Amino acid sequence: MNQPSQYISAFSRFIVLACIAVFIGWLFDQILLVFVILLAGLFAWYSYNLIRLNDWLWSKKNLYPPSSNGIWSEVFDGIYRLQKKNRSRRKELGQVLKRFRDGAEALPDAAVVVQSNGQILWCNKLARHVFGLRWPEDTGLLITNLLRHPNFIEQFHQQKQHPDMAEEPVLMPSPIDRESTIEIRMVPYALGQLLILGRDVTQMQRLNQMRKDFIANVSHELRTPLTVLQGYLEMMQDPEMGGALPSTRAVGMMSDQCDRMFNLVNQLLVLSRIEANRDNVYEHIVDVPAMLMLLEKEAEQLNLDRQHTITFNVDQNLLIHGLEDELRSAFTNLVKNAIRYTPNGGEIHVCWCKQDNQAKFSVKDNGDGIEVQHLSRLTERFYRVDKARSRSTGGSGLGLSIVKHVLAHHKSQLEIESEVGLGSCFSFEFPLDLIAHRRKRKA
C-alpha cells in the first residue's frame, strides 16, 4: 500500500470510531466518558503492538513479523522489508570482502594491512611465511615491533609523514632467514591505512650480483692481454726505436696474448651456446668411445712436453643419448685440465665404463691435489685455485663452468674428489635412461 492511502485509511477509521463514540455518548448523554474510553482503547492497542514490535525486533528466533492489521501491519511489513534488504546487502558485502581476501591471498606478494599507527589489521598467508607473522594472533600488534630492521622502520615513518607519496621499495634481510633478502613496498590504503607488500628477491639479487661479477671478470680477463699488446705497440711506435721490428720474443708474447683472448672469447661463446641450447638430449646418440679415441690422440699431442703416463679405459659398447658438441667439450676439459695441472711425469687415468647401472666418466691424476676450501667453488665462472698458473697454462677459468652446464643438460653433475699431495679425481655419471646401445651389424 502506498503511504497517502495508508494515512487516509487510518484517518477514516479513526473518524468512523469517533463518530460511533459520539453517537453512543449522545444516546447515553455521556459523550466525554465514551470518548475517554475510546482513547484508552486506542492507547492500549498501540501499546500492545509496540510491545509485540519490540519483542520481535529483539527476538533471535522469529524471522517473520507478528501479524497485525491497520497501520501496524504496514509498520511490521515495512521493517521486515528493510531487514530483508539489509540482510542481502550484508551478504553482498560479505561476498565482496571474501573476493578481496581471496584476491589478496592469490597475490604473489606478502600483504599486510596496518593502521596509520602501525597496528596490524590483516595479513595474507604469504606474509606469514615472508615476514614470520602469526595470524590472527598478531592482530592489533604494532608492525614496527615485529619487523625491527632500521630500513623498514625508516620507510614506515617516512610513509607516515608523506602518506600521499609512493616511496621507493626498500630491501631488508628476511626476519625468518637472514640469508634471504626481502623487498618492501608501502602503499597508502583506504582511510589512512597502509598496505605493506613484501617479496623475496634473493634470487634476483644473486643473479644481479652474478651479472656484475661476470662483467667485471670478463673485463679484467681481457684487459690484461690488451695491456700487454698495447705496451708492445707503443714501443714499436716510439721514434727512438727508429722503426725497428719487434724482437722474436716480443712477437711471441703478443701472439700468446692474442691466443689467450681468442681462447677466452671462444669459451664464452661455448658457454652462452650451452646456456641457450634447448635441444632434446634423447633425440641424439653420441658414440662416446669414438669421441674418446680422438680425445686420446689430442691428449698425446698435448702430453708431448709433459711426459705423463696417460691410460684410457673405455667400454666400447657404452653410448649415450646426448648432445655431441657439448659432451665433447665436457670430456675434453677434464682431460686437458688433468694434463695441465699435473706436474710433469704424472699419471692420468681416464675411464668410461658402466657402474651400478650408470655410465661413468672419470679422470684421475696424481697431481698436487686441491685444498678442500676451493672444491665447492671450482665450477664458478673464472674461479681458479692458482690464477697465475692457470693463466700461464692458457686457462680461462671457464672450463669447469662449461662442464657443469653441459652435465646439467644431461641429468648429471660433476663430482670432485681431491687430496693435497695425492691428486684429484673429476667424475660424473649419466643415469640409466640416457644409456644407448650400439646397434649390432647384420651378419
Name the site residues for ligand ADP (rule: CB under 6 A): 333, 337-338, 341, 365, 367, 370, 378, 383-386, 390, 395-401, 424
Cβ of residue 264: shortest distance to ligand ADP, in angstroms? 9
Instruction: Report residue 306 CA to chain centroid gap.
Output: 49
Are the C-beta atoms of residues 312 and 296 closer than 8 Å to each other?
Answer: yes
Cβ of residue 188: shortest distance to ligand ADP, in angstroms? 51
65 vs 346 by CB, closer to ligand ADP: 346
**Grid coordinates standing for 204?**
634476483
315 vs 386 by CB, closer to ligand ADP: 386
1 vs 269 by CB, closer to ligand ADP: 269
156 vs 352 by CB, closer to ligand ADP: 352
Cβ of residue 224: shortest distance to ligand ADP, in angstroms? 14
Cβ of residue 392: shortest distance to ligand ADP, in angstroms? 10
69 vs 219 by CB, closer to ligand ADP: 219
State how beta strands 318-321 and 181-188 pair.
unpaired
Exposure letters 388-420 (e unless 16+ CB within 10 A, then b): eebbeeebbbbbbbbbbbbbebbebebebebee
113 vs 334 by CB, closer to ligand ADP: 334
109 vs 368 by CB, closer to ligand ADP: 368
Cβ of residue 235: shortest distance to ligand ADP, in angstroms? 29
Cβ of residue 427: shortest distance to ligand ADP, in angstroms? 12
Instruction: Find the helix or strand (DSSP H, E) in which 411 lies.
Output: none
Cβ of residue 385: shortest distance to ligand ADP, in angstroms? 3
What is the signed CA dihedral for 391, 393, 397, 399, rounded to 10 degrees? 170
Which of 311, 329, 318 is closest to 353 using CA atoms? 318
First to last CA, the chain: 105
- Closest CB to ligand ADP: residue number: 399
Cβ of residue 297: shortest distance to ligand ADP, in angstroms? 20
200 vs 221 by CB, closer to ligand ADP: 221
Are the C-beta atoms of residues 110 and 126 closer than 8 Å to each other?
Answer: yes
Distance CA 145, CA 131 (A): 12
Distance CA 291, CA 313 (A): 13
Q: If you ran DSSP here, which 8-state letter would residue 119 be given?
A: B
Which of 159, 160, 180, 179 is closest to 169 using CA atoms? 159
